[in-house]
Amino acid sequence: MSILVNKDTRLLVQGITGQEGLFHTLQMVQYGTNVVAGVTPGKGGEWVLDGKIPVFDSVKVAVEATGANATVIFVPARLAADAMYEAGDAGIPLLVCITEGIPVHDMICVRQFLEQKRICLVGPNSPGLLSPGESKVGIIPGDLAIQGNVGVVSRSGTLTYEVLNALKQNERGVSACVGIGGDPIIGIGFVDVLQMFEADAHTEQVILIGEIGGNEEELAANFIAKEMTKPVVAFIAGRSAPAGKRLGHAGAIIEGDAGLASVKMEALRAAGVRIASYPEEIPALMD
């Protein structure tokens, strides 16, 4: 078993008939993920992937018909908040939102709504989740990782892929990979995932991939220093980024000294974390 998703996950795809939704649904199915249904309003009654997956008009009906217990969201930014509200109202306990560019005000309201219902949100602007050998939810290429005991948590999709590939090239396997998302307002953060890895019997060490902007890495450093018993290796992107510049993500922006890579690395080092200078160095720093 892995954290968040595994072979028992029954996945619903919101926006399944769109180009991105359909493409990645096929990738997830080919990986072995149990995709039980899709939702596109107005297209209920249709089937996709050669009649393998039914499409419903609403999340509520899809859940009642299939018992879906997780959803992945591939809908345009202007509709994404409503998609998350709908999934929350239907009682799905795990939401993974791939969509980027959702207005900050919308996300503030959505997060408060989901927190009140105690629903776990991964993202938005997340590459998703990968539990090698069990389940793939989102857009992380499944062939980048092999099964093992290393937990990976990241704010960056592309860097996630680089690190997974480096681990595979060094014959190091992964228990689970979680892309928390790079937007200013997200669901679960570094600390939440570190808590899961700390409690997971199949995870023996952890890799944290951070970047400039926000204070997620500093919060993680505080948790690692006080609560974490498993070794952690980290890489922080954006060391040369000047103040006021963004690095790929809307959340990766620094103002003055706040959010600087140097500040994050100093906090993590003080917590006993080994810091890699570049992603490919990470395997050599692991115990």
- Do 117 and 168 lie in one domain? The reply is no
Show the tokens assigned to 153.
């948590």
CATH assignment at residue 93 = 3.40.50.720
Average confidence score pLDDT of the chain: 94
Which of 90, 122, 154 finishes a domain?
122
- On the question of pLDDT at 1 being above 70, the answer is no
- Do 149 and 218 lie in one domain? The reply is yes
Q: Is residue 1 part of a domain?
A: no
Q: Could you tell me the pTM of the whole model?
A: 0.94
pLDDT tens digits, one per residue of 19-66: 999 999 999 999 999 999 999 999 999 999 999 999 999 999 999 999
Domain count, the chain: 2
Which of 73, 89, 122 finishes a domain?
122
pLDDT tens digits, one per residue of 205-251: 999 999 998 899 999 999 999 999 999 999 999 877 666 555 555 55
- Do 175 and 118 lie in one domain? The reply is no
Q: Is residue 127 part of a domain?
A: no
pLDDT given for residue 238 in this prediction: 84
Q: Is residue 5 part of a domain?
A: no
CATH assignment at residue 146 = 3.40.50.261
DSSP summary character for residue 241: P
Catalytic residue among 24, 105, 202, 249: 249
- Do 117 and 156 lie in one domain? The reply is no
| Residue 24 appears among annotated catalytic residues | no
Q: Where are the beta strands (DSSP E) in the chain?
A: 11-14, 35-39, 47-48, 53-56, 70-73, 94-97, 120-122, 128-131, 135-138, 147-154, 174-179, 205-211, 232-237, 246-247, 249-253, 274-275
Tell me the residue range of the domain where 72 lies: 11-122
- Do 215 and 279 lie in one domain? The reply is yes
pLDDT given for residue 259 in this prediction: 80
Are 238 and 261 within 8 A, CB to CB? yes
- Do 278 and 158 lie in one domain? The reply is yes
Q: Is residue 2 part of a domain?
A: no
Residue 106 identity: D
SS3 content of the chain, % helix, strand, coil (to 5): 35, 25, 40
Q: Name the β-bridge partners of 236.
A: 210
- Do 173 and 243 lie in one domain? The reply is yes
In angstroms, the CA 268 to CA 38 distance is 41
Residue 254 — pLDDT band, cuts 50, 70, 90?
A: very low
- Do 153 and 270 lie in one domain? The reply is yes
- Do 150 and 248 lie in one domain? The reply is yes
In angstroms, the CA 11 to CA 92 distance is 10
- Do 29 and 160 lie in one domain? The reply is no
- Do 113 and 145 lie in one domain? The reply is no
Q: Is residue 63 part of a domain?
A: yes
Which of 93, 122, 151 finishes a domain?
122
Q: Is residue 4 part of a domain?
A: no
- Do 276 and 166 lie in one domain? The reply is yes
